[in-house]
């Protein structure tokens, strides 16, 4: 690229969502976020990712906060910056597929309460599971970004990624994100992938990765040189390890080049200073485990995400079988192949990992099959890139008829009955959505809210971006 042609790379800041989800078990409170918002709003970020993912569940379950209230307060503070959320397609922010009417309503309320960009992904890259949420986002005048769950394997050729990108464009999405949840994308592969996607689609390309395997900053550099439009970064106190590359480092890297972000390091350093005590406090309390800050090269060797590795260790510890660690690591790719080679991301990573542990502990493969494995092999999560191993599928579901349609086609509308179930607790329209995703956790929260005598003005809840007393 000649020196004259400027193509500034844009930055999505993850410190208010993925960074603290990855490092601090999603425990940052709204009160910790609010004082720095005014300063963050002056940076000129492409967007700030601040909602969705695990923040919704954690707010209700651990922080006793209403996630919708958090969103309204953030919207009120960010006057000039687009707000972004992560959305699991037909799973919304929960762990099962929901009816189309729930998905549709959740998108509508997310946009009405202040979300501009919805990043939508499916664990299996089954685009049928994204149709409802993409259509709803576009209809509500939100920005629908479809995320590809990046993974490695025979099926995942450049042709596969080019084809899926073209289909995403045809769906009506506004942009594409390469979602590298396990930190598997290495620098030169990023050059190839971004170049290929740019050839097959006119949509902007964003890249999201984690520092787990130690290559993420170099991967960003090669991706940007290949034409990547936006990268996800986190303020340095909550960067690296299982989080994202540091915002200030990437801004400095591209300074004086055609990709110069134009962001002010002075403002960024003031924001970093704000988050530093939050990091120190988390280290002292044990909330931030120094282990997650290192480089875990096993991620690349075994293609297993960092979070999945730690789950594996704790499962083996419980079974007093830590000596079986390497056997399980070798069994994971075999199970993944039997299961149609899905990307390893929530919930497929947990399903494959747990089944691999069982196979090793039982001394016989598929002697015991989890109910989640059965659901996956039956087609309840959608279609995998490769077919299932027919013998393993038969062993799991017997003579049951596998599901070949879009799984949500079999789920009748749910909103009306959910409204009836939780009517006694309702203070705002959005409460039915909190209940739909996490019935028990939401009910506990509603009881807590009543005990605190907290009232929400339901008439104004999603029509005006007001700050309400908590």
**Any idea what the CATH number is for the domain that residue 116 is in?**
3.20.20.70
Same domain, 144 and 263: yes
* Predicted pLDDT at 347: 84
- Say yes or no: 309 and 284 in one domain: no
| Inside any domain, residue 4 | no
Domain assignment present for residue 22? The answer is: yes
Say if 412 falls within a structural domain.
no
Same domain for 219 and 286, yes or no, is yes
With beta carbons less than 8 A apart as the criterion, state whether 204 and 217 touch: no
CB 184 within 8 A of CB 151: yes
- Total-model pTM: 0.93
Residues 189 and 310 in one domain: no
Q: Is residue 454 part of a domain?
A: no
**3 located within any domain:** no
- pLDDT the model gives residue 457: 55
Is 58 a domain residue?
Answer: yes
Tens of pLDDT, residues 334-382:
999 999 999 998 789 889 999 999 999 999 999 999 999 999 999 999 9
- Of 290, 317, 350, the position where a domain reaches its end is 290
Residues 40 and 72 in one domain: yes
pLDDT at site 463 = 39
Q: What is the pLDDT of residue 462?
A: 45
Same domain flag for 186 and 228: yes
Sign of CA dihedral 441, 313, 388, 384: positive
Residues 284 and 310 in one domain: no
Same domain, 282 and 314: no
Last residue within a domain, chosen from 371, 404, 437: 404
Q: Does residue 24 lie within any of the structural domains? A: yes
Between CA 111 and CA 102 the distance in angstroms is: 14
The number of distinct structural domains making up the chain is 2
Q: CATH number of the domain that 400 lies in?
A: 1.10.472.90
Among 236, 255, 290, the domain boundary falls at 290
Indicate if 336 and 260 belong to the same structural domain.
no
**439 in any annotated domain:** no
The domain containing residue 178 runs over which residues? Answer: 10-290
| pLDDT tens-digit profile, the chain (470 residues) | 445 689 999 999 999 999 999 999 999 999 999 999 999 999 999 999 999 999 999 999 999 999 999 999 999 999 999 999 999 999 999 989 999 999 999 999 999 999 999 999 999 999 999 999 999 999 999 999 999 999 999 999 999 999 999 999 999 999 999 999 989 999 999 999 999 999 999 999 999 999 999 999 999 999 999 999 999 999 999 999 999 999 999 999 999 999 999 999 999 999 999 999 999 999 999 999 888 888 888 888 887 877 787 778 888 999 999 999 999 999 999 999 999 999 998 789 889 999 999 999 999 999 999 999 999 999 999 999 999 999 999 999 999 999 999 999 999 999 999 999 999 999 999 999 999 999 999 999 999 999 997 776 554 454 333 332 22
Domain match, 283 and 326 both: no
């Amino acid at each position: 690229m000649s020196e004259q042609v400027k193509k500034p790379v844009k930055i999505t800041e993850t410190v208010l969502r993925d960074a603290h989800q990855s490092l601090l078990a999603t425990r940052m409170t709204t009160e910790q976020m609010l004082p720095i918002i005014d300063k963050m709003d002056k940076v000129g970020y492409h967007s700030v990712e601040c909602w969705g993912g695990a923040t919704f569940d954690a707010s209700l379950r651990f922080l006793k906060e209403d996630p919708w209230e958090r969103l309204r307060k953030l919207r009120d503070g960010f006057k000039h910056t687009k707000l972004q959320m992560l959305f699991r397609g037909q799973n919304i922010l929960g762990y099962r597929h929901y009816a189309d009417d729930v998905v549709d309503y959740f998108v509508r309320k997310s946009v009405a309460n202040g979300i501009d960009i919805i990043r939508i992904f499916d664990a299996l890259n089954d685009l049928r599971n994204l149709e409802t949420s993409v259509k709803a986002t576009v209809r509500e005048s939100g920005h629908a970004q479809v995320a590809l769950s990046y993974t490695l394997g025979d099926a995942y050729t450049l042709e596969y990624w080019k084809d899926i990108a073209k289909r995403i464009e045809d769906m009506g999405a506004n942009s594409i994100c390469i979602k590298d949840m396990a930190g598997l994308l290495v620098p030169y592969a990023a050059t190839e992938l971004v170049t290929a996607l740019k050839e097959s689609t006119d949509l902007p390309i964003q890249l999201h990765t984690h520092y787990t395997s130690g290559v993420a900053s170099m991967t960003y550099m090669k991706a940007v040189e290949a034409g990547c439009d936006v990268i996800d970064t986190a303020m340095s106190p909550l960067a690296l390890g299982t989080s994202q590359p540091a915002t200030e480092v990437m801004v400095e890297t591209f300074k004086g080049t055609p990709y110069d972000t134009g962001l002010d390091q002075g403002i960024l350093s003031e924001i970093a200073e704000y988050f530093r005590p939050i990091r120190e406090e988390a280290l002292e309390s044990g909330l931030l485990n120094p282990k997650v800050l290192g480089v875990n090269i096993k991620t690349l060797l075994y293609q297993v995400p960092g979070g999945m590795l730690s789950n594996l260790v704790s499962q083996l510890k419980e079974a007093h079988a830590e000596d079986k660690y390497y056997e399980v690591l070798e069994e994971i790719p075999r199970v993944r192949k039997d299961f149609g080679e899905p990307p390893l991301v929530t919930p497929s990573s947990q399903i494959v990992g747990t089944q691999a542990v069982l196979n090793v502990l039982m001394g016989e493969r598929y002697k015991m099959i989890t109910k989640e494995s059965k659901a996956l092999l039956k087609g309840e999560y959608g279609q995998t890139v490769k077919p299932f191993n027919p013998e393993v599928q038969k062993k799991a579901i017997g003579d049951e008829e596998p599901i070949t349609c879009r799984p949500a086609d079999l789920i009748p509308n749910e909103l009306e009955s959910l409204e009836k179930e939780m009517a006694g607790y309702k203070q705002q329209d959005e409460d039915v959505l909190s209940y739909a995703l996490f019935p028990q956790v939401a009910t506990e929260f509603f009881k807590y809210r009543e005990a605190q005598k907290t009232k929400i003005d339901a008439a104004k809840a999603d029509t005006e971006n007001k700050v309400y007393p908590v």
